[in-house]
Amino acid sequence: MEMKETMYGQYGGTFLPELLMPVVHRVAEAFERVRDDETFCQRLDGLLTDYAGRRTPLFLAENLSKRLGGPKIYLKREDLCHTGSHKINNVLGQLLLARTMGYSRVIAETGAGQHGVATATAAALLNLSCTIYMGEEDVARQSLNVYRMKLLGAVVVPVSSGSRTLKDATNEAIRSWAACAEDTFYAIGSVVGPHPYPAMVTHFQSVIGKEAREQIFEKEGRLPDAALACVGGGSNAAGLFTAFLDDPVDLYGAEAGGEGLDTDRHGAALSRGTAGIFQGMRTLILQDDVGNIQPAHSVSAGLDYPGVGPLHAHLKDTGRAVYEAVTDREAMEAYELLARTEGIIPALESAHALGLAGRISHRFSPEDILLICLSGRGDKDTLRFQEEGGRDHE
């Protein structure tokens, strides 16, 4: 599949105010120039290795495999990246591009603060001034991440419109971008937004799948039978899936089932969304009959988003990938199970992929191999786990 395209089937594209069209065109041109440029790639590889901690391990989770009673389960350990998740891969790429283009300032949206922290981190490293837009509700809920961003030198702007969460922070970031695009680069945190962002973020995250493919060949001498990842906007999944698109490997995405698909409290844009225009792209979104965006819900802030990257909407339509909704409850069970069996506390986002593995493992035999992207670490989620009625571990 050609990933340089503007459209993914009927999804993607560029739907922005006129004012921003030349701005994203400049980003698209610059990205095409650097993606295969030797100097840029060497610089980025160096940062990914020496700063972010790549390549991340591929770990055979033997205890979990036994417990689930099916296939061998391998975990791609993105939780071991600097700042605790895969987000740093993308941010280092985009901010290095921003430097290359001569920008002195970067803005970003953030939900729980993970993309905000990663952006503030890379901005400190690359000497860019940094402003992060964050919904007031999230600022209140995620005070530790707000503190981290400020410590890293970023300005955090609380957004008070709408539901005062990620969707509103993104709208505000796009609005303010239009006013300051002269000197400011917009770093988007997932495979969403107008072209070239979905393609660019997929490219910067494709290091996950590239490494995992090499590692599974080193360890097993063959391809996995299936690859699984959680899907918020869909960047860790895109980064894993792209390495296997042309191979006989089943691809599974786990989206936020929240309190169940028969309630209105979930974030399952692939299972329950309809096509529409949202935040610069055409994709599947949770909306009512007249196109009002419906608030998403998930126990994990990173999956709490009413849209999804256009690549995934297309992979769903073509049947190349299968997406299933995993509930809050299933994710919390998987969170605890991985902690108990392997001594690894996963992010609640990643726990959705683990929950899906538990659900489908009976379809596989003990010789089969499942490759799961463990997108982040779960220290950030321990309080949430307790609040949501997870067992008290005194």
Q: Which of 225/255 has CB closer to ligand PLP?
A: 255
Known catalytic residue at 176: no
Q: Which of 206, 330, 375, 380 is catalytic?
A: 375
Sign of CA dihedral 181, 87, 192, 101: positive
Q: Which of 106/208 has CB closer to ligand PLP?
A: 208
Q: Which of 12/232 has CB closer to ligand PLP?
A: 232
11-12/7-8 β-pairing: antiparallel
Q: Which of 31/204 has CB closer to ligand PLP?
A: 204
What residue type is 258 in one-letter code?
G
CB of 193 to ligand PLP, least distance (A): 11
Tokens of 78: 């993105």
Known catalytic residue at 333: no
Q: Give φ, ψ of 377 to 5 degrees.
A: -90, 160
Q: Which of 164/312 has CB closer to ligand PLP?
A: 312
Helices (H), the chain: 21-34, 38-50, 62-68, 87-100, 114-126, 136-141, 143-151, 166-180, 197-205, 207-220, 235-241, 269-272, 310-318, 328-342, 348-360, 382-387
Q: Which residues bind ligand PLP (CB under 6 A)?
A: 85, 87, 114, 190, 230-236, 302-303, 347, 349-350, 375-376
Virtual torsion, Cα 82, 339, 261, 69, nearest 10 deg: 120
CB of 19 to ligand PLP, least distance (A): 27
Q: Give φ, ψ of 371 to 5 degrees.
A: -110, 120
Return the exposure string of 15-40: e unless at least 16 CB atoms fall within 10 Å of the residue's CB, then b. ebeeebeebbeebbebbeebbeeeeb
Q: In this structure, are residues 137 and 164 in contact, taking their beta carbons and an 8 Å threshold?
A: yes
Known catalytic residue at 210: no
Residue 297: is it exposed, middle or buried by C-beta count within 10 angstroms (0-12/13-18/19+)?
buried
Q: Which of 110/181 has CB closer to ligand PLP?
A: 110
CB of 375 to ligand PLP, least distance (A): 3
The whole-angstrom separation of Cα 274 and Cα 290 is 12
CB of 42 to ligand PLP, least distance (A): 26
CB of 142 to ligand PLP, least distance (A): 12
What residue type is 278 in one-letter code?
F
Measured at the CA of 144, the angle between CA 138 and CA 150, to 5 degrees, comes to: 90
Q: Closest-CB residue for ligand PLP?
A: 376
CB of 104 to ligand PLP, least distance (A): 26
First to last CA, the chain: 50
Cα dist from 259 to 266, 300, 308, 330, whole Å? 6, 12, 19, 10
Q: Which of 109, 172, 255, 330 is catalytic?
A: 109
Q: Which of 72, 76, 78, 87 is catalytic?
A: 87
Q: List the one residue out of 174, 172, 177, 137 whose CA is nearest residue 296.
A: 137
Return the half-sphere exposure (C-beta side, CA atoms, 13 A cut-off) of residue 71: 22
CB of 278 to ligand PLP, least distance (A): 15
Q: Which of 70/234 has CB closer to ligand PLP?
A: 234
Would you please indicate which residues are annotated as catalytic (active-site) residues? Answer: 87, 109, 375
